[in-house]
Structure 1
Amino acid sequence: MKILRRDLMKASLSAGVGLSALGLKTPKASARSSSHASRPFDESTVRTLARNLSRKAFSAPSHELPAVLANMDFDQFSSITYDPEKTLWHSDKLAFDVEFFPRGYLYKPRVDMYEVIGGKATAIAYDPDSYHYADPSLKVSGDIGFSGLRIRYALNTPGVMEECAVFLGASYFRAFAKGQIYGLSARGFAKDTGSLKGEEFPFFRSFWLEKPQAGSDSLVVHALMDSPSLTGAFRFTIRPGETTLFDVQSTIFPRQDIANGGIAPLTGMFYFDANNHDHVDDWRPAAHDSEALQVWTGTKQQLYRPLNNPTDLQISGFSDNGPYGYGLMQRKRSFSDYEDIALHYEQRPSLWIEPVGNWGDGEVELVEIPSPSEVNDNIVSFWHPKQPLQAGKSYNFTYRMYWGWDTPWPTHLARVVATRVGAVVDHPEARLFVIDFNGEPFQSLPKDTNFHLIAEAKPGAIRNIVIERNPYIQGVRTTFELVPGDAKLSELQVQLATDQGPISETWLYRWTP
């Protein structure tokens, strides 16, 4: 896997410690720990470990490594590659196999790995001979251990194994669908994201990999999460395909009250697009992993919020009860939308979260962080429960993740194709907004349909609304001017309508100078 520098920088320097204190043996310095080291394992094992761990004081992990590994740079770390002949389950010819990342560079703490077969968990031991080294000095004997894992599957070509998902760094993980490449990431939990006191990064300290049955197209991975504020147990059922699915069962055990917690967090990069190109001097039309936050509320509203790279930190909340879903979406799918022959943003996945069960009152939170380049992940979104998570209790959150090209279900509403923002000639007090809509309604509406715009700005005023057919997208273009006055921030809301009522999703936007 070619790891982008931006993706490597995501990881917290907090990560796993061994499990000997919890009654599970860590690997010996051999190719695979012997069968006598196996321990019983069932669906309750990781929850029990997480619950017991939450009742103990947090113990910071050791980062000790031989100097040659601890001081590796990016190029050295990425030059250590796993031998495909030694992947977990390679000789079994299953639908999946697994490679393991070494420790070093940003990924110093040890993450313990276990294989689960027939209700028994056996530690997977580190073996330096499982890797190829461009620099032989990086090969270190002894029980160094792992920092993460990558999952392989014949996603695009039958019989050709390729990676389709990665767990590496803190509680970060990534995946993509058939025909795609890596883009945005997900996390196990977010705490104090965007706060002045600084963010805490919970980490996956251990993984259990259930050996799949022959012919199975799904893989079950369990993970134990830890941090100073909480522990957690996760069960991922992974199904790669045209859309790659993760069914996630999670239980959170707070060590302390958590007021600013984030469930099912998504993390990506938005550098610029046509809505803020005036802030960026770049030759390309756009550069981003995701272009918008999309929310389908519990009251069946469909919200579409284009992302921004602001000049100051921005935090937005979309209150809801029992949301149907939310996601960071990439709708622009043509090479000409980005013109980047190296990074191919048009092939990056959208990621949609579908809650299973009613998550109650809360809000979908969006954090937009200023970034001077596309190196930084500067967008975070998650579900923020209204009530704080209380110490000593447990909280279950079950959800399905869709890594793919769009939302998992079609909509009968018109959808936003593009958002463009620019100057108004001879009127420096105003900003021009251009929004294109297309979709199902325009396939049946008569040519003489009377369109109008339901639009508001708080604070500020909207003027000079124009709506016209756009034959190039088989839809409609609307333009209007925002006059913010003395306001330094204006919340805009727009919905396309006919005389019979609204026909589009609701476009939301936060304008700042």
Structure 2
Amino acid sequence: MAPAAWAAELQPLGSPGKFDYAWLKGAARDLAHTPYRPHGKALPRDVAALDWDQYQAIRFKPDHALWADERLRFRIRLFHLGLFFKRPVRMFELAGGQAQELAYNPAMFDYGRSGLDGARQPRDLGFAGFRVHVAPDFDRDVAAFLGASYFRAVGAERQYGLSARGLAVDTALGHDEDFPDFTDFWFERPAPGANSVVVYAMLDSPSITGAYRFAITPGELLTMEVDAALYPRRQIERLGIAACTSMFHVGENDRRTARDWRPEIHDSDGLAMHRGNGEWIWRPLVNPATLRFSSFVDKDPEGFGLMQRDRNFDHYQDDGAFYEKRPSLWVQPKGAWGEGAVQLVEIPTVDETFDNVVAFWNPAQKPQRGQELLYGYRLYWGATAPVRPALATCVATRTGIGGTVGRKPQHWSWRFVVDFAGGQLARIDPKTTTIEPVITASSGSIELKSARPLASVNGVRATFDAVPPPRSGPVTLRLFLRADGQALSETWLYEWTPPAPADRKLAPA
């Protein structure tokens, strides 16, 4: 029987049943011991045929949201099936230890000009995903779970950007990637005045199953406390924990595909890592000509994330997408994760409509069939990470042809200009203290290096030219600032692919 406080259009499907996280973990474990079966069933033809404009015309009615008739801080609105979202997801309300499935009801939706007749759809059609809304602004959502195991959230800027995934499986290997699905969600009815809402999820794929618990707390930095219990169906070559997915098309450091009038186009501009040994690393993102895979070996990482550090509108000039407001996503492990690596995948893209960057934690030991893998972590969505290095951080990376202006070049080189701000830089007197750029290259050589004050960022600009080796291939560059033997900045780490030797054209004097 549906709770009396439900909106009239929220109708139950089937009978309620007992539920808690222990039950969910047990159900996921049992599911892993059975052959994978794609969940759901074929959609009705008219739903499956919806195009982009038709799907966008379907709107959930706000007054029909879960808990809309109760004085709670949170409300849940549901996404209709269609377009890219063809696998039905079951939705349950959880109250008093009892879970009640929600039935599809056309009265929940305004179908507008979609051409879809909701009354003709089956009662067990299901939903595609959900959105979380919080008082006092119920008009805009703060988190959304939609498609496979993807989800997004916003901080104070209320601007969506990059996504997270429940799990990444076999990303950037020589065979098809496995994209797990969240097949079921349970919404725990919050207590009056509660600052968080708890959502449970079942994950399923041909490779693995999982039980998830999300405690979502909106704020200037929206926080998600995530607990995951994973049960492999087979040995997994590359498991991606706390996967972050983003887009980098054009930036100050990479204008390979710069044909647009906007100076920069990206949801994230770098991968930040706080290693287990305390070192902070900043790896600027690129849009590579070919797929690029990077692995940063670590033990018990303190955190990592895809960040949007550049928050200056003038650098983007986009008054529709507002890239300067896109959130960063910081992952903070709970407990020791052991040995493994933060891994980064960068995929070529020709425009901004494709997410082409993935970052995740990959444990050193390959998961095996029959294991239980337990991970806990926090996700922070917002303008900045909840922790920052005490050292200066990289605030911009620019690149271009090397050499000295006015002099005929004797060989081909590439200029790197890296700006640092924060930490002790603003308090150092350059007249009495020499700041040294410490630069290394995995191959080739470094020349014309310097570090000088930069008033515009109240920091220091480091510059150098990289001379590639005669052969082709990527070059790893490392840079940090030092004075009196002490590090002043985080480590800037860059993967540079010089042009082929035949394409290294010298500029005229």
TM-score range relative to shorter protein = over 0.9
Aligned pair partner of 1:268 in 217, 242, 246? 246
Equivalent residue letter for 1:250: A
How far did residue 178 of structure 1 move?
Answer: 1.3
- 1:149 is matched with which residue? 130
How far did residue 280 of structure 1 move?
Answer: 2.0
- Is 1:487 the counterpart of 2:466 in the alignment? no
How far did residue 313 of structure 1 move?
Answer: 0.5
* Matches of 1:464 and 1:174, distance apart in 2: 43
Give the match's secondary structure for 1:44: helix
How do 1:108-123 residues align onto structure 2 when only pairs under 5 Å count? 108-123=86-101
Give the match's secondary structure for 1:90: coil
| Structure 1: gaps of 5 or more residues | 1-29
- Contact 2:58 2:114 survives alignment (8 Å): no
- Contact 1:416 1:437 survives alignment (8 Å): yes
- 1:61 is matched with which residue? 39
* Matches of 1:146 and 1:62, distance apart in 2: 11
How far did residue 193 of structure 1 move?
Answer: 0.7
Equivalent residue letter for 1:430: S
- Contact 2:74 2:132 survives alignment (8 Å): yes
Equivalent residue letter for 1:442: L
How far did residue 91 of structure 1 move?
Answer: 0.6
> 161-170 vs 236-245, which deviates more?
161-170
Give the match's secondary structure for 1:245: strand
How far did residue 136 of structure 1 move?
Answer: 6.1
- Contact 1:459 1:487 survives alignment (8 Å): no
> 389-398 vs 132-141, which deviates more?
132-141
- Contact 1:79 1:133 survives alignment (8 Å): yes
Give the match's secondary structure for 1:440: coil
- Contact 1:46 1:233 survives alignment (8 Å): yes
* Matches of 1:442 and 1:418, distance apart in 2: 15
How far did residue 279 of structure 1 move?
Answer: 3.6
Equivalent residue letter for 2:328: S
- 2:455 is matched with which residue? 471
Q: Where do 4+ consecutive residues of structure 1 move more than 4 Å?
A: none
* Matches of 1:467 and 1:331, distance apart in 2: 22
- 2:383 is matched with which residue? 405
Aligned pair partner of 2:272 in 294, 302, 320? 294
Deviations 1:58-83 (A, max 9, x none): 01234412211101111111110000
How far did residue 442 of structure 1 move?
Answer: 1.9
How far did residue 410 of structure 1 move?
Answer: 3.1
- Is 1:205 the counterpart of 2:190 in the alignment? no
Instruction: Tell me: CA distance 1:139–1:93, structure 2 relative to 1, closer, same or farther (3 Å).
Output: farther
How far did residue 443 of structure 1 move?
Answer: 2.9
Give the match's secondary structure for 1:92: coil
Give the match's secondary structure for 1:52: helix
- 2:421 is matched with which residue? 438
- 1:193 is matched with which residue? 171
* Matches of 1:278 and 1:357, distance apart in 2: 41
In the superposition, the TM-score normalised over structure 1's length comes to 0.92
- Is 1:32 the counterpart of 2:16 in the alignment? no
- Is 1:173 the counterpart of 2:173 in the alignment? no
- Contact 2:201 2:212 survives alignment (8 Å): yes
- Contact 1:39 1:120 survives alignment (8 Å): yes
* Matches of 1:487 and 1:466, distance apart in 2: 27
How do 1:448-467 residues align onto structure 2 when only pairs under 5 Å count? 448=431, 449-467=433-451
How far did residue 283 of structure 1 move?
Answer: 1.9
How far did residue 198 of structure 1 move?
Answer: 1.6
Deviations 1:114-138 (A, max 9, x none): 0001110001111101101112631
- Contact 1:63 1:108 survives alignment (8 Å): no
* Matches of 2:30 and 2:382, distance apart in 1: 37
Instruction: Tell me: CA distance 1:189–1:136, structure 2 relative to 1, closer, same or farther (3 Å).
Output: closer
Equivalent residue letter for 1:98: I
* Matches of 1:62 and 1:94, distance apart in 2: 32
Aligned pair partner of 2:227 in 249, 252, 264? 249
In the superposition, the TM-score normalised over structure 2's length comes to 0.92
Give the match's secondary structure for 1:46: helix
Equivalent residue letter for 2:163: S
| Structure 2: gaps of 5 or more residues | 1-8, 499-509
* Matches of 2:413 and 2:81, distance apart in 1: 53
Q: Percent identity?
A: 40
* Matches of 2:262 and 2:440, distance apart in 1: 32
Equivalent residue letter for 2:128: S
- Contact 2:55 2:114 survives alignment (8 Å): no
Instruction: Tell me: CA distance 1:107–1:63, structure 2 relative to 1, closer, same or farther (3 Å).
Output: farther
- 2:412 is matched with which residue? 429
- Contact 2:157 2:382 survives alignment (8 Å): no
- 1:503 is matched with which residue? 488
- 1:6 is matched with which residue? none
- Contact 2:145 2:151 survives alignment (8 Å): yes
- Contact 1:460 1:487 survives alignment (8 Å): no
Equivalent residue letter for 1:512: T
Deviations 1:145-166 (A, max 9, x none): 1011111113xxx354420000
Equivalent residue letter for 2:412: E
- Is 1:280 the counterpart of 2:258 in the alignment? yes
* Matches of 1:472 and 1:138, distance apart in 2: 56
Aligned pair partner of 1:45 in 2, 14, 23? 23
Aligned pair partner of 2:373 in 395, 403, 422? 395
Question: What root-mean-square deviation, in Å, do the aligned CA atoms of Structure 1 and Structure 2 show?
Answer: 1.5
Equivalent residue letter for 1:432: R
* Matches of 1:93 and 1:362, distance apart in 2: 45
Deviations 1:388-426 (A, max 9, x none): 001001000000000011121232101101000101255
Give the match's secondary structure for 2:456: coil
How far did residue 503 of structure 1 move?
Answer: 0.7
How far did residue 33 of structure 1 move?
Answer: 1.4
